[in-house]
């Protein structure tokens, strides 16, 4: 699988087809590429243009298109899929798939695909309880297709019973699990800081550092994907923020400090990946400072709050604190010193040369002295390793 997982979403002719529109958005927000295949009956219920707009991809409709607007054949669609999800799956589609028919694009892709296949049935209760449908579903699950069972409730036809499309939360989570993604942080409120802070000394100038924000954003993205309720406080950086529960953009260390103080009590853990400027100009000029002949000027800097240290002193019992340590020399010894001085649970030490790169070589140190030296790896991979530790230490996993 590439770093951007590819979901092929089959939409069939059930009234619940409109719910798949929201599913497309949810999957894209999790970082997936979504390609939609619609059956002819699905097109009678909802226009392909809506799926096209939401997925950002052409919708595949026909097995043998006269013109090839989407440039995708059934075999390449099957190869494209890291997961094929049929949402909603009508009784008709289920019957055809169970019989191994390939009389339209979606049934053909379903036969050709090697990736995991998942289907979420939605239909009238009498159809759902019909022995023929029960037999077909049983056959498909026996063959390894994953079924997201429909729910009991009020149905589109006005009756009440089983057959209502499963909740999008469940369907989304099953799709992500089929991709091999874990949801072991489900519901965990997690505060993450990312990016650098910028400390102004006049309206057009500031002091800062070279942090790209990649590590913090990778953490926020991986934690959200694993189900955590992420509050992200981020300063400027070179990469966009992922979709999270709550995002608070800030500029200066003082603003980040305030936001952390306010948000921490609602969270089980703080991961402080932001590169906070330790000093800020003491005075900020209200207008642009003009050159003065050839003379030098002096900028007086004042200490910024040590955000994680203050958070550590005020934390509610049981709140987990994870810091980073950026070092040019004596990586492990200096990081250990910071862990003790700031009373942290974990510290991720990394050499300054990885500051703005794609990869990172880190050492994870815990408060009992346990030290794991990791090889260089992409930042998203390290994010998952750190979150494995967070999951264990918070009792989420
Ligand atoms: N940190 C913080 N507030 C600051 C400075 C740093 O919360 N004012 C946090 C960082 O986000 C990181 C940890 O403290 O999680 C260590 O940051 P680092 O810059 O490596 O160390 P400093 O404590 O600033 O010490 P020094 O600059 O002397 O190495």
Helix (H, G, I), strand (E, B) or coil at 23: helix
User: What does the DSSP assignment read for 37-52?
Assistant: EE-HHHHHHS-HHHHH
Q: What angle do CA 194, 199, 201 make, to 5 degrees?
A: 165
At 353, the pLDDT band (50, 70, 90 cuts) reads confident
- Higher per-residue confidence, 336 vs 243: 336
Counting residues of the chain whose pLDDT is more than 70, the rounded percentage is: 97
Read off the pLDDT of residues 186-217 as tens digits, 9 standing for 90 and up. Answer: 999 999 999 999 999 999 999 999 999 999 99
Confidence of residue 73 (pLDDT cuts 50, 70, 90): low
H/E stretch holding 380 reads: helix 379-393
364 plus 389 within the same structural domain: yes
Q: Is 308 in the pocket of ligand 1 (CB under 6 A)?
A: yes
Range of the domain at 72: 6-178
pTM (2 decimals)?
0.79
Task: Tell me, yes or no, whether 254 and 376 share the same domain.
Answer: yes
Provide the pLDDT for residue 369. 87
CA distance 391 to 396: 5
Taking only the tens place, the pLDDT of each residue in 108-129 is 999 999 999 999 999 999 999 9
Residue 263, domain member (yes or no):
yes
Cβ of residue 324 lying under 6 Å from some atom of ligand 1:
yes
What does the alpha-carbon distance between residue 302 and residue 280 come to, in Å, rounded to a whole number?
A: 5
Residues 171 and 245 in one domain: no
Sign of CA dihedral 26, 228, 3, 355: positive
What band does 40 get if pLDDT is binned at 50, 70 and 90? very high
Q: What torsion, rounded to 10 degrees, do the Cα atoms 330, 270, 359, 306 define?
A: -40
Q: Of all atoms in ligand 1, which is nearest to the CA of residue 278?
A: 8
The answer to the question of residue 183 being in a domain is: no
Query: Total structural domains in the chain?
Result: 2
Q: Over the stretch 47-58, which tens digit does the pLDDT of each residue have? A: 999 999 999 999
Ligand 1 centroid to Cα of residue 347, in Å, is 11
Check which CATH number belongs to the domain holding 57 and give it.
3.40.50.1950
Residue 184, in any domain of the structure: no
CB atoms within 10 A of CB 204: 10
The SS3 assignment for 4 reads: coil
Above 70 in pLDDT, residue 70?
A: no
Mean pLDDT score of the chain, rounded to an integer?
Answer: 93
> Of 324, 334, 355, which is best to mutate to test ligand 1, by the most ligand atoms within 8 angstroms of its C-beta?
324
Q: 22 and 162: one domain?
A: yes
- The reply to whether 38 and 100 lie within a common domain is yes
The confidence score (pLDDT) of residue 1 equals 52
Residue 354: band (very low, low, confident or very high) from pLDDT cuts 50, 70, 90: confident
Active site residue 32: no
Residues 85 and 229 in one domain: no
Q: Which member of 46, 157, 251, 385 is catalytic?
A: 157
**CA-CA distances (angstroms) from residue 384 to 107, 323, 359, 377?**
36, 15, 14, 11
In a domain, 141, yes or no: yes
C-alpha of residue 236 to centroid of ligand 1, in Å: 17
Residue nearest to atom 28 of ligand 1 (CA): 278
**Bridge partners (DSSP) listed for residue 146:** 118
End-to-end, the C-alpha distance of the chain in Å comes to 25
Residue 153, SS3 per DSSP: strand
Among the atoms of ligand 1, which is closest to the Cα of residue 310?
Answer: 7
pLDDT value of position 214: 95
Verify that 280 and 229 share a domain, yes or no.
yes
Verify whether ligand 1 is closer than 6 Å to residue 181 (CB atom). no
Does residue 119 sit in the same domain as residue 227? no
How far, in Å, from the CA of 371 to the mean position of ligand 1? 19
Give the number of other Cβ atoms within 10 Å of residue 8's Cβ: 27
Q: Tell me, what DSSP letter sits at residue 60?
A: B
276 ligand 1 Cβ < 6 A: yes
């Amino acid at each position: 699988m590439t770093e951007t997982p590819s979901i092929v979403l089959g939409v069939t002719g059930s009234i619940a087809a409109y719910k798949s529109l929201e599913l497309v958005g949810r999957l894209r927000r999790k970082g997936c590429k979504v390609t939609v295949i619609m059956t002819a009956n699905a097109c009678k219920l909802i226009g392909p243009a809506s799926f096209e707009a939401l997925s950002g991809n052409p919708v595949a409709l026909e097995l043998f298109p006269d013109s090839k607007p989407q440039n995708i054949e059934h075999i390449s669609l099957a190869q494209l899929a890291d997961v094929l999800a049929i949402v909603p799956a009508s009784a008709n589609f289920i019957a055809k798939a169970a019989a191994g028919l390939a009389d339209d694009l979606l049934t053909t892709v379903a036969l050709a695909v090697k990736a995991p296949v998942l289907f979420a049935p939605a239909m009238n209760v009498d159809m759902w309880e019909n022995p023929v449908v029960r037999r077909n579903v049983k056959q498909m699950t026996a063959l390894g297709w994953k079924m997201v069972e429909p729910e009991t409730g009020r149905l589109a036809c006005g009756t009440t019973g089983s057959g209502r499309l499963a909740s999008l939360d469940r369907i989304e989570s099953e799709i992500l699990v089929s991709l091999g993604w874990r949801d072991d942080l489900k519901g965990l409120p997690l505060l993450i800081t990312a990016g650098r802070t910028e400390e102004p000394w006049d309206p057009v100038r500031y002091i800062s550092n070279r942090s790209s924000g990649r590590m913090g954003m990778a953490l926020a993205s991986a934690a959200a994907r694993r189900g955590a309720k992420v509050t992200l406080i981020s300063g400027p950086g070179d990469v966009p923020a992922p979709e999270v529960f709550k995002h608070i953009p800030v500029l200066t260390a003082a603003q980040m400090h305030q936001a952390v103080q306010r948000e921490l009590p609602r969270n089980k853990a703080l991961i402080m990946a932001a590169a906070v400027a330790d000093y800020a100009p003491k005075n900020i000029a209200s207008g642009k400072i003009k050159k003065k002949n050839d003379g030098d000027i002096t900028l007086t800097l004042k200490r910024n709050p040590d955000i994680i240290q203050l958070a550590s002193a005020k934390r509610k019992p049981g709140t987990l604190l994870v810091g980073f340590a950026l070092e040019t020399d004596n990586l492990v010894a200096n990081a250990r010193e910071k862990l003790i001085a700031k009373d942290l649970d974990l510290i991720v030490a990394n050499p300054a040369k990885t500051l703005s790169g794609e990869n990172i070589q880190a050492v994870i140190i815990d408060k009992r002295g346990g030290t794991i030296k990791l090889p260089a790896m992409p930042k998203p991979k390290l994010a998952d390793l750190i979150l494995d530790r967070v999951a264990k230490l918070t009792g989420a996993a």
